[in-house]
A and B are shown apart, each in its own frame.
Chain A
Amino acid sequence: KQEVTQIPAALSVPEGENLVLNCSFTDSAIYNLQWFRQDPGKGLTSLLLIQSSQREQTSGRLNASLDKSSGRSTLYIAASQPGDSATYLCAVNDNYGQNFVFGPGTRLSVLP
């Protein structure tokens, strides 16, 4: 059974810092991995989707990497801003057309 963990559970940084969020999964036979952002009481916003054949994806200040063989992904946020404060969820998809298994999330606070 696929299990997803995220470290750290919570992170508080001053504005402008670069930071890394970590995601680990137990079964490396994944189809893709997706990073989401969730604001309090809100739905999910998809940030980056990495297919199993890819090693990284970039969007603006965000960069996500995938090392499928070691069961790890990282989300790098450059020059963090207070507006980046949210919970970041990592989710893996084991088979095409199947559901995601979510990690518990990292709660990020960027202080002005």
Chain B
Amino acid sequence: GAVVSQHPSWVICKSGTSVKIECRSLDFQATTMFWYRQFPKQSLMLMATSNEGSKATYEQGVEKDKFLINHASLTLSTLTVTSAHPEDSSFYICSASSNSVIGYGYTFGSGTRLTVV
């Protein structure tokens, strides 16, 4: 149980375009989803926290107008990288938690490798 599906697993896009990444909880309702970013040879850093039905909370230094997060349902959160630039190339990974699923820990998606050319 407690599976999180993240799609796509990798994407290449041109500079200036937008890319959407989806994160779905398959067998539980995720009241909170977290989005992380990992640059090469660095650890994962939290970008934002989203609760279903409310605006996301962004970490310091993360541009909320550039990284649009939508958590419209208890099973789906999306991260849209708008007007992507090469410096946005990174590994993005989501994590979901649920107040009703004690002991599941915080399940992570498989990640999305974004390359902006």
Q: Which residues of A contact B (CB under 8 A)?
A: 32, 34, 36, 41-44, 46, 49, 51, 89, 91, 93, 96-105
B93 and A44 form a contact (CB under 8 A) = yes
Q: Please measure, in the bound complex, the distance between the C-alpha atom of A97 and the C-alpha atom of B33, giving whole angstroms.
A: 9
Q: Which of A43, A91, A103, A104 contacts B110 (CB 8 A)?
A: A43
B106 and A93 form a contact (CB under 8 A) = yes
B108 and A46 form a contact (CB under 8 A) = yes
* 6 A-B pairs closest in CB distance: A43-B110, A43-B111, A49-B105, A44-B108, A102-B43, A104-B43
Q: Please measure, in the bound complex, the distance between the C-alpha atom of A41 and the C-alpha atom of B97, giving whole angstroms.
A: 24
A44 and B42 form a contact (CB under 8 A) = no
Q: Number of B residues whose C-beta is below 8 Å from A?
A: 25
Q: Please measure, in the bound complex, the distance between the C-alpha atom of A67 and the C-alpha atom of B42, giving whole angstroms.
A: 26
Q: Which residues of B contact A (CB under 8 A)?
A: 6, 31-32, 34, 36, 42-46, 49, 91, 93, 95, 97, 99, 103, 105-111, 113
What's the minimum C-beta distance from A97 to chain B, rounded to whole angstroms? 6
Q: Which of B31, B34, B99, B107 contacts A99 (CB 8 A)?
A: B34
B106 and A43 form a contact (CB under 8 A) = no
Knowing A43-B6, A99-B34, the reply to whether A34 touches B105 (Cβ < 8 A) is: yes
What's the minimum C-beta distance from A31 to chain B, rounded to whole angstroms? 10
Closest to B46 in A: A99
Closest to B32 in A: A97
Q: Which of B31, B34, B91, B107 contacts A46 (CB 8 A)?
A: B107
Closest to B111 in A: A43
Q: Please measure, in the bound complex, the distance between the C-alpha atom of A92 and the C-alpha atom of B64, giving whole angstroms.
A: 25
Knowing A41-B113, A43-B111, the reply to whether A102 touches B44 (Cβ < 8 A) is: yes
Give 10 pairs: A residue, B residue, CB < 8 Å, sorted on A: A32-B105, A41-B91, A41-B113, A42-B110, A44-B108, A44-B111, A46-B107, A46-B108, A91-B44, A102-B45
Q: Please measure, in the bound complex, the distance between the C-alpha atom of A77 and the C-alpha atom of B49, giving whole angstroms.
A: 33
